[in-house]
Amino acid sequence: MKKLLLSLGLLLALTVKAWAVAPFEVIEITSINAPPVKVWETLADFSILAWNPQVVNVEIIEGVKTQPGAVRMVTLKDGSKFKEKLVTIDPAKRILTYEIIDSSVPVKEQSETLQVTEKYGTAIVTWEGKFLSNNQQDAQTAASAIQQLYRTGFAHLKTMLEAK
């Protein structure tokens, strides 16, 4: 009987914990009137985020900036810091995926992908993030902040590359 009660208690605890996790996704897509190769070259350097005005510093702290496993520390204007790890980079498909392994944003897990495709000679850039948060309120707050970061970055990237 004790084993049954212990098992039921454990199951209930896991169920409550699963309910407390709030998954969410943020996607931003923009078109840039520039060659996709040029856009990719700007985004593919894991050590540079000059195209996003919210970022004040990027430092590679482990590995090589062009290879999976590289880790960077990103600091935003508001003082937020993100420790990010490059997971995949595929120049042929123009896709880069990274994970945030430590963050001041209230998210538990995070995977983000940047991809550059082409449509009628125009670069189409997609930035997609998938996240888990401890609760729905934190998820909503984080989603709003991340969406703003994506939009600000893309607006500046577009202005920067279309001006050249």
Q: Is residue 69 part of a domain?
A: yes
Q: pTM of the prediction? A: 0.82
Residue 28 belongs to domain with CATH number = 3.30.530.20
Q: Is residue 150 part of a domain?
A: yes
Residue 5 has pLDDT above 60, yes or no: no
The CA-atom distances, in angstroms, between 92 and each of 34, 44, 95, 115, 117 are 18, 11, 8, 11, 11
Q: Is residue 25 part of a domain?
A: yes
For residue 10, what pLDDT is reported? 42
Q: 75 near 86, Cβ under 8 Å? A: no
pLDDT-derived band at 118 (thresholds 50, 70, 90) equals very high
Q: Is residue 72 part of a domain?
A: yes
Mean pLDDT of 48-65: 95
In this predicted model, what pLDDT tens digit does every residue of 79-114 receive, in sequence order?
A: 989 899 999 999 999 999 999 998 887 777 789 999
Q: Is residue 54 part of a domain?
A: yes
Q: Is residue 130 part of a domain?
A: yes
Could you tell me the residue range of the domain that residue 131 belongs to? 21-162
Residue 17 has pLDDT above 80, yes or no: no
Please enumerate in sequence order all residues whose Cβ is within 8 A of that of 146, keeping only pairs 6 or more positions apart, or say none: 26, 105, 129, 131
Mean pLDDT (the chain, rounded): 86
Q: Percent of the chain having pLDDT more than 70?
A: 87
For residue 16, what pLDDT is reported? 41
Element (H, E) at 110: strand 109-119
Q: Is residue 29 part of a domain?
A: yes
For residue 99, what pLDDT is reported? 95
Residue 140 has pLDDT above 60, yes or no: yes
Q: Sign of torsion, CA 69 38 130 81?
A: positive
Mean pLDDT of 21-28: 90
Please enumerate in sequence order all residues whose Cβ is within 8 A of that of 143, keeping only pairs 6 or more positions apart, or say none: 24, 26, 131
Q: Percent of the chain having pLDDT more than 90?
A: 63
Element (H, E) at 141: helix 136-162
Q: Is residue 11 part of a domain?
A: no
pLDDT-derived band at 14 (thresholds 50, 70, 90) equals very low
Give the lowest-confidence range in 28-42, 59-73, 131-145. 131-145
Report the domain count for the chain: 1
